[in-house]
Structure 1
C-alpha cells in the first residue's frame, strides 16, 4: 500500500492489535482465506500486505516451506517481526511499485488478504504477481464485498471511487469501492483463472468476541474471497 494508505504509527499499532482477535479479521476473513489455501505443505508463499504477520504465522503453522512477507508500514512490519521472529523473510515495500526484488516464477502461492482494494496500481501489481508465481501457482485475494460497500456508503452500486471507513480511535481506512464485475474482470483480465469464490461468514468463535458483528456477517455480506490459478 502507499504511504497514504498503509497503517502507520498509532493506527498501525491499533490495527495489529485489532487483527489478532477481531470478529472480522481473525474470525471471518482469515479462516476463509486459509481454507481456500488448502494444503500448503512445503510451498513457497508470498504474503502481500502481510500486516502484523498473522497470515504468515498461520501458513507456517500449516506447513508452508517458506513465507515471504511484503508490507508498506514500518509499524506493522515491526509487529510482524516480533510475531514471526526469524521464521519468515520480510520486506518493507510500497505495493504501488513493481516487485523487482522478487524473482520470476519463484512462488507456489500468493496471498493478498484485504489489501487489493487499497491499491491504485492494481493492473501493475497483478502483472507482477503473474510474473513471480510459477505456472499452476495459486493466488488468493480477499476484498470488501461490493454489496457491503454499497449498503454502507450508499449512492450508486456502480460507483468506482475511494471511500473512508472509520477505524479505531479517530482513524479511517481508505479504500476503493468497486463492483463485483470490475473486481473479477481485473483479475481475469490479468490472465488468472477463477477456481472458487466465497462470501465469508464469521466462525462460531466470533460469537464469543463480538456477537453483534457475528450476526451481521450472517445477515449481510462483508467480504469476498477468491482462489485463482496462474495458467
Structure 2
C-alpha cells in the first residue's frame, strides 16, 4: 500500500514551526539521533528524509558535508532556508531509488522518523546500503512498536497502515506499523550489522519547558533508534 510521506502545504509549515521545540522532535528524537551519529567531522552524510532541515543543520555545524533529501516541497523550502549554504537539499521521493548517488559515496546516513512511512522499506534499505562505503554507518529512528500498540489498542503484531492525527491541526499522517521482530529483521536482512539500540527518553531541557509533559514521556516508550554499520 502506498505511503503518505506528505508534510505538504500547511502541514509542512506546521511541522517546521513546531519541530524546533517540540517534545518528540527537539527533546527526544534529535538529541538521541545526534548522539548516535557521534563525531561527524569531515564526513559525508546523507540525511534521508531531512524534513525542515534541523538534523542537516546540526550535522553541518558539527563539521559534516551534508546532502538532505526530502519529498515535501514545503519542507524543502524550509530546509533550504534553515541550512543556507551549509548543506545541500534536494527534492526526492524516498519511495524511489536513490538515482544519481554513487555506490559507496557516503560515510553515514541519518534517517529520522521516516522508515515507517515508506511503501517498500527493503528496497530503501538496499539503496542506503549501496550508497554507504564499507564500514559506513546508518542511524535510524522510528515509532516504538509498544507505543503504537498502546495507542491503537489492538494487536502488537499488527502490520496495518494507520492514520495518526497531528495535534493542533486537521491533518493526519499515514504510516505502517512494525513490531520489533519485523524492524530488526528488515535491517539485518539488508546486510547491516547492529551496533546499538536505544529507547530515547526526553532530555532534561523538556522538564524546564513543560514539567508535566516531561513526567508523562519519561516513563513510557515513544520512539526507537538504532545505529548500524555496513560491513
Instruction: Judge same fold: TM > 0.5, yes or no.
Output: yes
1:153 and 2:155 matched: no
CA distance in structure 1 between the aligned counterparts of 2:146 and 2:217, rounded to whole angstroms: 12
CA distance in structure 2 between the aligned counterparts of 1:211 and 1:9, rounded to whole angstroms: 32
Partner of 2:109: 110
Partner of 1:17: 17
Give the superposition deviation at 1:3: 7.9
In the superposition, relative to structure 1, how do residues 3 and 151 fare at CA in structure 2: closer, same or farther (>3 Å)? Answer: closer
Partner of 1:27: 27
Partner of 2:193: 193
Partner of 1:8: 8
Partner of 2:129: 130
Secondary structure of the residue aligned to 1:24 is helix
Secondary structure of the residue aligned to 1:163 is strand
CA distance in structure 1 between the aligned counterparts of 2:213 and 2:174, rounded to whole angstroms: 21
1:39-86 CA-to-partner distances (Å, cap 9, x unmatched) read 10100000000001000111111111x100000000000000110112
Give the superposition deviation at 1:166: 1.0
CA distance in structure 1 between the aligned counterparts of 2:143 and 2:4, rounded to whole angstroms: 19
CA distance in structure 2 between the aligned counterparts of 1:185 and 1:30, rounded to whole angstroms: 24
Partner of 1:51: 51
Q: Which runs of 4 or more aligned residues in structure 1 lie more than 3 Å from their structure 2 counterparts after TM superposition?
A: none
- Which of 162-171 and 12-21 deviates more? 162-171
Partner of 1:67: 66
Q: How many positions carry a matched residue from both structures?
A: 229
Partner of 2:82: 83
CA distance in structure 2 between the aligned counterparts of 1:180 and 1:213, rounded to whole angstroms: 26
5 Å matches for 1:93-108? 93-108=92-107
Indicate conservation of the 8 Å contact 1:23/1:209, yes or no. no
- Unaligned runs of 5+ residues in structure 2 are none
Indicate conservation of the 8 Å contact 1:7/1:15, yes or no. yes
TM-score, scaled relative to structure 1 = 0.96
In the superposition, relative to structure 1, how do residues 155 and 3 fare at CA in structure 2: closer, same or farther (>3 Å)? Answer: closer
Kindly report the root-mean-square deviation, in angstroms, between the aligned alpha carbons of the 2 structures: 1.1
